[in-house]
Amino acid sequence: MSNYGITWYSCSESSIEGPSCKQLGDATFKPGYPAPGRVGYKLNGTLKGTYLAVMIQAFNDHGSSSAWTELQEYASNSPETSTPEPSSSRFTANQRTLATFSGSATGLTSQQKSQVKAAVEANPNAVKFICTGIRYYSQPMSVNIMVRKRAKAACDYAKELNPRLSTWYQNKPTQARSYAGKVLLTVKTPAR
């Protein structure tokens, strides 16, 4: 069974990639529990003039898939409480996690390389390749360096396979133990 998550982002420019975006909040819904028809996030005046987006994600032990809403500008005449309405996605996103890394290794194994290659080849029209190193939320911040190096290795290899890809690597915490220490690949292709 899949869990479902919604994550809110605010960006200083109309792009969901890069350092201009920050996470505002999130919510997770488990199977068997009703998901609310509308989820709101209280916006304040400091967000006016920024762009807001929502990522909707379904995930289970075998991987995850996600889709972004279009970025909507939070204008100065917006009400103080607002929720960006989902609209057609600018990108379709395919996700998969790489096989588990052993110990403190940061280089890719032959199995992990073949997984990155399969992700690149399965998405020939992709323009964005995002690699996210994941650490368990209670682990020390020093683990960020290790998982970020793993993410960088995956993105560097993807770029080597397809130099036209725009790559981005990052690290994030998780409360799902099954994801801790892994690298999540997100491959984005323009929506048609």
* pLDDT at residue 152 in the model: 95
Q: Find, among 156, 190, 184, the residue nearest to 95 by Cα.
A: 184
pLDDT band, very low/low/confident/very high, at 64 (cuts 50, 70, 90): low
Query: C-alpha 47: how far from its chain's center?
Result: 21
The arithmetic mean of pLDDT across residues 67-79, rounded, is: 49
Give all domains of the chain, ordered by start, each with its CATH number: 3-82 (no CATH), 91-190 (3.30.1330.60)
The arithmetic mean of pLDDT across residues 80-92, rounded, is: 50
Q: Tell which phi-psi region holds residue 181, choosing left (phi > 0), alpha (psi between -120 and 50) or beta.
A: left
The residues, any chain, with a CB within 8 Å of residue 163's CB and separated by 6 or more, are none
pLDDT band, very low/low/confident/very high, at 53 (cuts 50, 70, 90): low
Q: 140: burial class by Cβ within 10 Å (0-12, 13-18, 19+)?
A: exposed
Return the higher-pLDDT residue of 97 and 29.
97
The arithmetic mean of pLDDT across residues 43-66, rounded, is: 61
* pLDDT at residue 15 in the model: 53
Does residue 112 register a pLDDT over 90? yes
Q: Which of 15-29, 67-81, 117-131 is least confident?
A: 67-81
Q: Which of 79-83, 97-101, 174-178 is least confident?
A: 79-83
The arithmetic mean of pLDDT across residues 39-55, rounded, is: 61
Chain mean pLDDT for the chain: 74
Q: Find, among 95, 88, 180, the residue nearest to 131 by Cα.
A: 95
Structure tokens at 41: 């996030």
pLDDT tens by residue, 148-173 = 999 999 999 999 999 999 999 988 88
Does residue 78 register a pLDDT over 60? no
* pLDDT at residue 176 in the model: 83
Q: Which of 58-67, 110-119, 160-169 is least confident?
A: 58-67
CA distances from 136 to 155, 158, 182 (A): 21, 25, 10
The pTM of the full predicted model, rounded to 2 decimals, is 0.56
